[in-house]
Amino acid sequence: MIDKLIEKIQKTGAPIVVGLDPMLKFIPDHILKQAFAEKDETLEGAAEAVWQFNKAIIDQIADLIPAVKPQIAMYEQFGVPGLSVFQKTVAYCKEKGLIVIGDIKRGDIGSTSAAYATAHLGKVKVGGSFCSAFDEDFVTVNPYLGSDGVQPFIDVCKEEQKGIFILVKTSNPSSGEFQDQFVKSGVTAGAIGAQMGGITFEDKPLYEVVGEKVAEWSAQCMGVNGYSSIGAVVGATYPEQGKILRKVMPHSFILVPGYGAQGGTGKDLIHFFDENRLGAIVNSSRGIIAAYQNEKYDKFGPEHFADASRQAVMDMITDIDQAFAGVGK
C-alpha cells in the first residue's frame, strides 16, 4: 500500500492529506438547515449534514491531493448514523481515487487489536462469506500496549496489502508529559536490577524508543520504493524531534499532523522528508475543511465553502514548495 501512496504523491506533486474531521460548527448554516428540514434536529439530521459537507469538499479537492484522513471520533459522536456516514465517506473517497487513512488511534490487547484491524483494514468471516466493514487503506495505531497491540494490525496489513501509522511523537501540547520522558533504553521493569551490577544503559526520550521499535516493525512490510507500509505519526509542531526521528526510522513514512491551525508551517516540515521529497505526508484538517471561516478566505463565504477548501489546499501546496525551494539559501 505504501507504494500506491507514493505513486499518488508523485502524481499530484502534493505530499498532503486532508483531515475530514467535521464538526457542526464548521458546517455552513444552509447545509444544516437543509439536513434538519429533512431529518429533524436528530443524530440522523447531524449525520446527513456531515455527509453533504464532506461530499462537497471531496468533490472540490480530490484532483489535487493523494489522500484523506477522516477522524472517526467526529463521526462516532453522532452514534450509528455518524458511523454510517464515516463508512460512506470512506467508500466515496475511494471511488474518487483517494487513499484513505482512517484516524482511529486503536490499540489494545491482542484479540481486541485483531478485531479492530479486521474491522478497519481486513475482512470478517460471516458464515461462508468474507465481508469488509470500513475498508480504509491505512489506520493510525496507538502502541502503548506494545507488540501485543500492534502486531495484529501488521498481520492484517500483510494479508490485505494495507498499512498503518503508529503514534510516536504527537502534535498536541501535552504530548511531552509521557513522550518526552527519558527512559533507560533496552531495560524493562523486570531488568532494572541489572543496573546494580554496573551495567550502563543509555537514557533516551520515550518517543525515540518507540521510533526504534517502529523501525523494527517496519521491516515486515517493505515496499519497492524503500519505504514500509508501517509508518509513524510525528507532529509538525515538533520539528527538532522530527529531524531525529527521520534518522531513527529511515524506512518509515511519516504522517505529519499539526500543520496550519496547530501552528506548523512549511519550513517546519523539511526534516521530515528525504532528499527526494518523499518519506512524509502532511495533514491539515480544519485549516482546509473550515477554510471559509478564516479571514484569508472571506471572499468565498459560506455558500462557496468547498471552493475555499480548494484554495486552501493550493496555498498549502505552495507553502510546502516554497519551503523546499528555500533549502540551502
- Which listed residue (96, 105, 123, 184) is catalytic? 105
105: annotated active-site residue? yes
Short-list 207, 321, 307, CA closest to 270: 321
User: What's CA 4's distance to the chain center, in Å?
Assistant: 16
State how far the Cα of 231 lies from the Cα of 219, in Å rounded to an integer: 11
Q: Which residues lie below 8 Å from residue 278, measured CB to CB, with a gap of 6+?
A: 6, 9, 10, 15, 225, 227
State how far the Cα of 65 lies from the Cα of 320, in Å rounded to an integer: 13
264 DSSP 8-state letter? B
**Cα diameter, the chain:** 73
- Find out whether 82 and 22 touch, Cβ atoms under 8 Å: no
Task: Name all contacts of 85-91 with Cβ < 8 Å and 24+ positions apart.
Answer: 85/47, 85/48, 85/50, 85/51, 85/54, 86/134, 87/133, 87/134, 88/51, 89/20, 89/51, 89/54, 89/58, 90/134, 90/135, 90/136, 91/135
Residue ranges in the chain assigned as alpha helix (H)? 2-12, 29-39, 43-61, 73-76, 79-95, 110-120, 147-160, 176-179, 206-218, 239-248, 286-289, 305-325
By annotation, the residues acting in catalysis are: 105
